[in-house]
Amino acid sequence: MIAKLTPEQLEELRAIDSPTIANAIEYFKVRPRVSGYAGAQVKCLIPGLGSMLGYAVTCKGDSTTEGKDRREHTELYRAIAALQPLPAIVVIGDDGDPAKIDLSCHAGEMMATTMKRVGAAGLVTNGGLRDIHEVTALGNFHYFGRGLVVAHGQPCIYDVGVTVNIAGMEVKPGDLLHGDENGVTVISAEIADKVAAQAMEVRAAEHKRLRDILSPDFHKQFEQATRYE
């Protein structure tokens, strides 16, 4: 199910940081609190681009199985193009030997450049990536992965359009993803059109609390509050 939001609604979500989005999602109780976001193994490798927002185009990748040859890259690129004009985020779930995941590499300059040319706004994987300088130079292409590696190994891409698990975050084709330097989360389709407004309420409440914490009376209020515990 794709939450087809208007361009204006997408821009509202893109203007908000991902932790505030995650806090807003909790309000709707559509999933357990410890679910729907990627674990700390998935890192933002190109900071400073603002929030990433787009619909997932999923596939599996394996670069650590010697002799394996499943190169369905063209099918992946076609799936990205077919989603346009909606923004696409490529999501590659590592499908190799878990013991070798630190040696995996699922994209570099050539793949990232092609992904961007056919309409992708970014890439998320629980495996490795490379060519960080060249991909950074592309401009406005988000790059999330386990880390950087120097070699591409035995790269395979296949099973385009399947559900994948990215460091504890289940991602289905068409899921709306939001990410920044803090990580990546899924915005459930049934609440996607309500999350931005709720995020603004979360932000207002947090700002009020921060004003209280930073106020000259904070220590007096803290002492009074702890006195009766």
**CATH code: domain of residue 178:** 3.50.30.40
- Is 210 a domain residue? yes
AA letter at 63: S
Helices (H) then strands (E): counts for the chain: 7, 12
CA neighbor of 46 nearest in space, from 93, 112, 114, 115: 112
92 contacts 127 by C-beta, under 8 angstroms: yes
| pLDDT (0 to 100) of residue 3 | 72
Report the half-sphere exposure of 33 (CA within 13 A, side-chain side).
3
- Is 108 a domain residue? yes
pLDDT tens for residues 92-128? 999 999 999 999 999 999 999 999 999 999 999 999 9
| pLDDT (0 to 100) of residue 226 | 60
- Is 218 a domain residue? yes
- Is 45 a domain residue? yes
Q: How confident is the model at residue 201 (pLDDT cuts 50, 70, 90)?
A: very high
For residue 25, the Cα-to-chain-centroid distance in whole angstroms is 15
Cα 36-32-210 angle, rounded to 5 deg? 80
CA dist., res. 45 & res. 143, Å (int)? 6
Q: How confident is the model at residue 7 (pLDDT cuts 50, 70, 90)?
A: very high
- Is 14 a domain residue? yes
| pLDDT (0 to 100) of residue 225 | 62
| pLDDT (0 to 100) of residue 217 | 80
Q: How confident is the model at residue 224 (pLDDT cuts 50, 70, 90)?
A: low
Tokens describing residue 72: 């369905």
- Is 1 a domain residue? no
Split into its structural domains, the chain has a count of 1
Three-class secondary structure of residue 75 per DSSP: helix
In this prediction, residues 6-27 reach a mean pLDDT of: 97
- Domain range enclosing 220: 7-227
- Is 158 a domain residue? yes
- Is 51 a domain residue? yes
pLDDT tens for residues 130-184? 999 999 999 999 999 999 999 999 999 999 999 999 999 999 999 999 999 999 9
User: What predicted TM-score, i.e. pTM, was given to this entire model?
Assistant: 0.93
